[in-house]
Amino acid sequence: MKPRMRLSSFLLSVQPWQGLLEAWLVGCLILGLTSHLEGYTDPFVFQTAMFFLCGSCGMWAVLRIRLPDGGWKKQTFWEFCVGLALSFMMVFALRLCGLFLHWDAIWRLTTWDEWQVLLLFGLTGPGYFFTRGGLRLWLRWNRMRKQRMRWSITHAHLLVALFIAFIFAFLAFLITPYSTTALRIWEKTRDPMASLLTGLLVTFFPALTLIVVGMGATLFFILPPSALFSYFVARRTTRRLEALTVTTAALRSGDYQARVTVEGEDEVAHLQSDFNAMADKLSLTLMDLNEEKDRVAQILESKRELVANVSHELRTPVATLRAAIESMLAHWQETPSEELHRKVELMENEIQQLSGLIDDLFTLSQVDVDHLALDCIRVDLHSLINQAVDSFSPLAWQSGRVEVTAQLPKELPFVNADPRRLNQVILNLLRNGVRHTPPGGIVAIQAEKVERYVQIDVRDTGEGIDPEDIGHIFERFYRGKNATSESAGLGLALVKELIEAMGGSITVESQPGQGSCFYVRIPAIA
């Protein structure tokens, strides 16, 4: 990270005047070093040194100067001005520096005329201008290849072409007559410092120049067809990636049905397939979340309804008790004993109703939190049903003139159940049947073995259940159109919860005016 940070802080980081000043100092340094060669080498080396001087100053300015921000017209104007200033600096400032330090003999040693040297220095500005244009194109290309996979693949192909051009340019330098002449001149130089400088000037710099020129020619002639070829080669891959990008954006915007067409069998095809699988899983997860959200909303709504219903159901018996107690306290001395006895019986009845409601609510709350304690044992269903009918039938006949009968086979399999809770279920079903059966009607209970269960049928000859109500009768606090004021809407809900807690099930069939039949199944013991 540190070398990269240092390089980024070096490139394109100074203002134009500072970059020109640094380029001038670089030129002075090269002139000073080249002056050491006077008397040790021939004009060819000094000619090469002049090219090296112009190239080094121009490249230093190219790499160091950062122009003010602005549009392309403003940037072009600034580049032109800097190039003009660079030419002025090379022709006048560097020339004057050489004259002042008596380095002007270097230019005479090149065998060039003075105007030729000045022309070479003046061409540094145009060279800077066009090189900066190439640098801007390269930076633009670099941004494009980072933003688009298509250009990134094309860039990789072009690097291969440039590497091949580099190899050919280097080989061309080795086999040209220039390399032989350069080595001969280098070997004739005896001074160590002059030998080092001569070696750099006649080998390294010309080789670098030839390689750069060769690579530039390669870019100029080979780049267009190579880029076109690479573009079409990469198009198939990038087209699929672009389709995947579009589908991803659609998925992110909320279109969870968006899918990408899988093409081919390569890594991109595997990526497309995995994306579709991920999208399918995401859709299922969102569906589950929506269902869970609806369920939580329903639970919260049920909780609000529960509080409202419990308040309503408790208000009536509490109000009745309060009225009876206030009446007794106000007139107990004047009230006959028979009237007092009747009011006490009324209070006892309301207390029993209130106690039953509280017991049912407590049982349902235990079911909700999975704390319902069940003691499931081997139960003689035949005996349990008969006992329930025997205890309830007198009350049913006395209160509503409804006959309750048990029609059981001689033998019934034992069942695995909690006898106290199962007896509560049977009594609730009998009580529900009697409540909805007119005087003279019948509530009959039957039982038989069905597969691995014992099925208990509780049938009545009452008014039946309205089709609109039959899907809701097992809901808590639900009261149908024909419900009596005595019903709190908890009995059948409690029956369903208890039966399912013991591993059974309950269903109902009913026709309005023809009575109802509840079917309870309890696991049998073989």
100 or 66: which carries more pLDDT confidence? 66
Structure tokens at 1: 């990270």
Stretch 107-123: mean pLDDT, rounded? 72
Structure confidence by residue, pLDDT tens digits, 332-353? 667 677 777 777 777 776 677 6
Whether 354 contacts 314, CB under 8 Å? yes
Name the pLDDT band for 120 (thresholds 50, 70, 90).
Answer: confident
In this model, does residue 246 exceed pLDDT 80?
Answer: yes
Q: Which residue has the tokens 């269902």?
A: 291
pLDDT at 179: 47
- Split at pLDDT 50, 70, 90, the class of 49 is confident
pLDDT at 186: 47
Contact (CB, 8 A) for 429 and 458: yes
Q: Chain-wide mean pLDDT for the chain?
A: 77
Determine whether domain 377-523 maps to CATH 3.10.180.10: no
Higher pLDDT, 219 or 265: 265
Q: 3-class DSSP state for residue 518?
A: strand
pLDDT at 445 over 60: yes
Take residue 415 and report the two structure tokens written for it: 């069942």
Distance separating the N- and C-terminal Cα atoms of the chain = 78
- Residue 385 pLDDT > 90: yes
- The domain defined by 268-368 folds into Helix Hairpins (1.10.287)
Amino acid (1-letter code) at residue 174: L
What is the band of 73 on the pLDDT scale with cuts at 50, 70, 90?
A: confident
Range in 170-174, 256-260, 349-353, 417-421 the model is least confident about: 170-174
pLDDT (mean) for 57-63? 86
15 vs 302, higher pLDDT: 15
Judged against a pLDDT cut of 80, whether residue 396 lies above it is answered with yes
CB 70 within 8 A of CB 228: no
pLDDT confidence of residue 226: 66
For residues 13 and 218, the model is more confident at 13
Percent of the chain scoring above 90 in pLDDT: 16
pLDDT at 512 over 60: yes
Q: List pLDDT tens digits, range 191-235.
A: 555 555 555 555 666 666 666 666 666 666 666 676 677 667 667
Distance CA 227, CA 229 (A): 5
pLDDT of 92: 79
Spatial contact of 502 and 493, defined as CB atoms under 8 Å apart:
no
Domain with CATH 3.30.565.10 in the chain: 377-523
Query: What is the structure's pLDDT at 1?
Result: 46
H helix or E strand, kind and range, residue 91: none
pLDDT category of residue 243 using cuts at 50, 70 and 90: confident
28-42, 143-157, 165-179, 392-406: least confident range: 165-179
Please say if the pLDDT value at position 308 is more than 50: yes
Pinpoint the residues of the chain covered by CATH 1.10.287.130.
Answer: 268-368
Give the residue among 447, 434, 443 at the shortest CA–CA distance from 487: 434
Q: What is the mean pLDDT of residues 392-418?
A: 90
Smallest CA-to-CA distance from 224 within 161, 168, 170, 130 is with: 161
| pLDDT, average across residues 100-109 | 60
pLDDT of amino acid 485: 47
Do you know the residue count of the chain?
A: 526
Q: How confident is the model at residue 522 (pLDDT cuts 50, 70, 90)?
A: very high
State residue 104's pLDDT score: 60
Gap between the Cα atoms of 282 and 74, Å rounded = 51
pLDDT-based confidence at residue 106 (cuts at 50, 70, 90): low
**From CA 506, how far away is CA 438, in angstroms rounded?**
24
pLDDT of residue 244: 83
